[in-house]
Chain A
């Protein structure tokens, strides 16, 4: 294919147009809110104990900006069993105040977190993790990539795991 040589004027116009379109499409959004809803399934067993649960996220590109949204437990002794959360986040935190709580029965729960969405490219992708582990039971780890560079609102569906899920993540622009 021949390389078409635009006159300088055209070239400048084209470049300007691209920049304008870019500005229009990618007006930076400073903050978003994640509304994370998930289920703790009802499990019929005589040995039922409420699961330990952690919901957390991290920037996908370099695994930085790790934030715990919720951790539900009863004794810190067993926090290590929320294996991935413990390794990625739990063991580095001096205090779990602000996002921790007691274990909950089966049911549907919603937690929220706000995120800075002003990063560019791959840095604007986050991984949301759901981890649940139950005494005498199983452990489930679910994860979902969310892209904060796209338009809002966004909806992501989380499939069902043995001990947690299905779930839903709604990403909304945070009003000033």
Chain B
């Protein structure tokens, strides 16, 4: 059997002397793995990196087999941000997360579209960080663990939402959170909340948002593992936190 579809490379690891075992996310066939023979030695090796858009053709004798890739590389988004540690960190965190979180061969078109939007924004403007945060929220929703951030779980009000319950994933208003605030997760302004304070910068808002999505991603993706989320995502947040601690964080604002 054989199929062809555009896709995004999530990861590539060497297999033997000259081949690469490559994981590719496509819109209608989800995450697929396959062997790209000779790819480790070919002139196009540089494009077989996470975040590269490819025209992918997968073939195998049986559907259960690992399969072989024929990959025609398009835009290599990683090459555009290789020298920017924060953007490169975001790209690696996103592709590693998809590779760790999505089951194989199941379509998640929202995740694909969102990841492509993040990659395009990485090389284009400053919206990439907030797009990435919203994409993680969509990823949770696609996996069936969507957060309910539209109304307060206690009072039903839709304004002054400030927190999220770490247990139910539902929003809590500032008034309803009285007495429980230290046990709740902050709902940042980027996700429809009121954030910590009115003058809270958007960079810190992003970090609060990633802590929120990270809590639920960690609970639902490989919860039995000591570190359920990819190390690249942790390093990305650490770097962003350090940057915010030393600067105004203007490069993170959209």
Same complex origin of A and B: no
| Chain B interface residues toward A at CB < 8 A | none
- Which A residues have a C-beta under 8 Å from some C-beta of B? none
